[in-house]
């Protein structure tokens, strides 16, 4: 037989077998979850809008609680109810890794940040160090003085402004952002961010840029191959920011190493107060005392961890405390009850301390309700399917991105059947429908810090900061809206701010001191 003819016959035969196999495989392949079609190449990218969590929520009302949306060339799956989220993440090993992300690559030292490290020995080592040495109850107790000091400064500043007249108001979010920024930077590197001086101003601007860029929607993440074009200019900004942070953090590390050689004896005091170290000092000690190379933090690891903590904690707590106060102003009865609880536990002669928090059940319920309605990140940090899996008869293909719509889950009428859109902290109190629900990721209707192995490692610090901020605002002042404004007209619309969602209209209110004069003394 002619060799050319034989080649044609074999080619046709093999092609037929291949196409038949593909057809049979496809006929048994599960369908993808329902969702909108989108545009060629771009998918649904251009239709997400400024508040993607709300867009996904509206789509879920049309297509169902498990959405499939194509963003560029990336298949994205979005669970929007507690039931679907639990089916996917009760055992989250199939979604344990993160997809490619420009900010993690260009800002966080090429995925060395604990949030984006691949699941494996290095991730487990860093997670263990954070849990045991940085964010354990004992570690947080050791560092509480700086947080208490910044809260006293906040109270003094607001009291001083309120003394300027009966119409004096404060921009609550601005005051809280300064307090949290200073408390966090003192905790991490032993410096206050919001102070005078060119060096401090540069560092503050870097932190603000970090929060913007880490939450930015980078098109290159969804259209591979165009990163070099950098159509939004984001990648260039990320690289420049990394260089600036690397310089600053390197300077902090060098200073701390020098100080460690002349460290005061354990338990030393200065001006009658404990000389507490910061977390950078702790990490350098762990680096120095590590038993083996596999358990040793590198300088890059330390820098990436510090970056992660700055980006995750700088704005979320101040934003949440502003939302909490706004909700309480709209429900004066709950605000009055919270003040009465604080007065009974703390009294009116001093400010709240962290040791008071466990004795304030209504305050804890207020925190949970705020996190339910206003989660720090309305859409979770993305996860990636490491293998094909099936949920409710639908295929989640390997490589698909999983975006948990935490905002929608907090409003799920099945998980929250009792007025899900209303601010009702009593639902968490004894006798309430959701008594006993916690924030540790086991109750899938309330996942502000995520769930499973990848849940937020700094949750304990975040809860302490948020609890102290909210308790201090409620305990230290009575709150009134500016003259002429009514409670029912208070704007509660949202606005995107990186990964977080802030108030579209900043909360401006009049604080009136309600404690004994000595509680407002400047520290």
- CA-nearest of 77, 57, 79, 55 to 68 is 77
**Domains of the chain in sequence order:** 31-520 (1.10.630.10)
Q: How far is CA 224 from the centre of its chain?
A: 26
Of 121-130, 236-245, 309-318, give the range with the top mean pLDDT: 236-245
Task: Output the CA–CA distances (angstroms, integers) from residue 331 to 181, 337, 360, 424, in the order listed.
Answer: 29, 10, 18, 9
DSSP reduced 3-state for 78: strand
Pick the more confident residue, 245 or 24: 245
Average pLDDT taken over every residue of the chain: 88
Q: Are 192 and 185 in contact (CB under 8 A)?
A: yes
Partners of residue 68 on adjacent β-strands: 77
- CA-nearest of 265, 284, 278, 257 to 140 is 278
Question: For 90-167, where are the alpha helices, taking DSSP H only?
Answer: 102-106, 121-129, 137-142, 144-162
Residues 395 and 77: their CA atoms lie apart, in Å, by: 10
Task: Read off the pLDDT band of 313 (50, 70, 90).
Answer: confident
**C-alpha R_g of the chain:** 26
> Which residue is listed with tokens 């003192």?
186
Pick the more confident residue, 294 or 133: 133
Of 256-260, 333-337, 481-485, give the range with the top mean pLDDT: 333-337
Please say if the pLDDT value at position 201 is more than 70. Answer: yes
pTM equals: 0.90
Q: What pLDDT is attached to residue 13? A: 39
Please say if the pLDDT value at position 404 is more than 80. Answer: yes
Residues 87 and 85: their CA atoms lie apart, in Å, by: 6
Q: Are 303 and 245 in contact (CB under 8 A)?
A: yes
Residues 408 and 261: their CA atoms lie apart, in Å, by: 51
Partners of residue 372 on adjacent β-strands: none
Please say if the pLDDT value at position 27 is more than 50. Answer: no
Q: What pLDDT is attached to residue 276? A: 52
Residues 284 and 290: their CA atoms lie apart, in Å, by: 10
Phi, psi of 487 (to 5 degrees): -55, -40
- CA-nearest of 14, 70, 8 to 38 is 70
Phi, psi of 79 (to 5 degrees): -75, 130
Binding residues for heme: 456
DSSP reduced 3-state for 494: strand
First to last CA, the chain: 99
Task: Read off the pLDDT band of 315 (50, 70, 90).
Answer: confident
Please say if the pLDDT value at position 357 is more than 80. Answer: yes
Task: Output the CA–CA distances (angstroms, integers) from residue 93 to 96, 141, 359, 389, 405, in the order listed.
Answer: 5, 33, 37, 11, 19
Q: What pLDDT is attached to residue 277? A: 75
Residues 441 and 512: their CA atoms lie apart, in Å, by: 38
Phi, psi of 315 (to 5 degrees): -105, -25
Please say if the pLDDT value at position 185 is more than 60. Answer: yes
Residues 212 and 190: their CA atoms lie apart, in Å, by: 23
How big is the CA angle at 82 (ends 80 and 83), to the nearest 5 degrees?
105
Rounded (10°) CA dihedral 176, 179, 182, 188: -80
Tokens of 335: 């605000």
Binding residues: 456
């Amino acid at each position: 037989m002619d060799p050319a003819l034989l080649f044609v016959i074999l080619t046709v035969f093999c092609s037929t077998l291949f196409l038949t196999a593909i057809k049979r495989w496809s006929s048994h392949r599960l369908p993808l979850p329902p969702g909108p079609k989108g545009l060629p190449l771009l998918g649904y990218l251009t239709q997400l809008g400024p508040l993607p969590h709300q867009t996904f929520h509206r789509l879920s009302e049309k297509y169902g609680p498990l959405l499939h949306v194509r963003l560029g060339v990336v298949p994205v799956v979005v669970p929007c109810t507690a039931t679907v989220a639990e089916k996917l993440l009760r055992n989250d090993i199939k979604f344990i890794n993160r997809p490619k992300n420009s900010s993690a690559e260009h800002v966080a030292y090429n995925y060395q940040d604990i949030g984006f490290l691949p699941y494996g020995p290095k991730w487990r080592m860093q997670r263990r160090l954070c849990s045991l040495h940085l964010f354990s109850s004992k570690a947080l107790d050791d560092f509480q003085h700086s947080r208490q000091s910044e809260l006293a400064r906040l109270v003094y500043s607001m009291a001083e402004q309120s003394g300027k007249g009966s119409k004096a108001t404060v921009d609550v979010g601005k005051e809280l952002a300064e307090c949290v920024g200073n408390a966090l930077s003192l905790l991490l590197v032993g410096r206050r961010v919001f102070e005078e001086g060119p060096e401090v101003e540069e560092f503050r601007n870097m932190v603000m840029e970090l929060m913007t860029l880490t939450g930015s929607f980078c098109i290159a993440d969804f259209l591979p191959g165009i990163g070099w074009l950098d159509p939004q200019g984001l990648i260039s900004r990320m690289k420049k920011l990394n260089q600036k942070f690397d310089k600053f953090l390197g300077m902090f590390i060098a200073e701390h190493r020098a100080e460690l050689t002349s460290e005061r004896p354990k338990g030393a005091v200065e001006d009658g107060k404990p000389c507490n170290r910061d977390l950078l000092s702790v990490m350098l000690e762990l680096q120095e005392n590590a038993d083996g190379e596999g358990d040793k933090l590198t300088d890059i690891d330390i820098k990436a961890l510090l970056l992660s903590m700055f980006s995750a904690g700088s704005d979320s707590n101040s934003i949440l405390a502003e939302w909490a106060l706004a909700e309480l102003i709209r429900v004066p009865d709950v605000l009055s009850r919270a003040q009465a609880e604080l007065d009974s536990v703390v009294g009116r002669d001093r400010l709240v301390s962290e040791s008071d928090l466990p004795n304030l059940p209504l305050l804890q319920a207020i925190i949970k309700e705020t996190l339910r309605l206003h989660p720090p990140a309305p859409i979770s940090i993305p996860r990636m399917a490491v293998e094909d899996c099936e949920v409710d008869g639908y295929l989640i293909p390997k490589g698909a991105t999983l975006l948990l719509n935490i905002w929608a889950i907090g409003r799920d009428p099945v998980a929250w059947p009792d007025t899900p859109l209303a601010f009702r902290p009593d639902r968490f109190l004894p006798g309430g429908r959701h008594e006993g629900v916690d924030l540790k990721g086991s109750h899938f209707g309330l996942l502000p810090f995520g769930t499973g192995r990848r849940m937020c490692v700094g949750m304990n610090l975040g809860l302490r900061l948020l609890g102290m901020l909210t308790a201090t605002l409620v305990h230290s002042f009575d709150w009134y809206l500016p003259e002429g404004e009514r409670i029912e007209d208070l704007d509660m619309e949202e606005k995107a701010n990186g990964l977080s969602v802030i108030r579209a209209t900043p909360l401006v209110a009049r604080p009136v001191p309600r404690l004994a004069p000595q509680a407002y003394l400047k520290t």
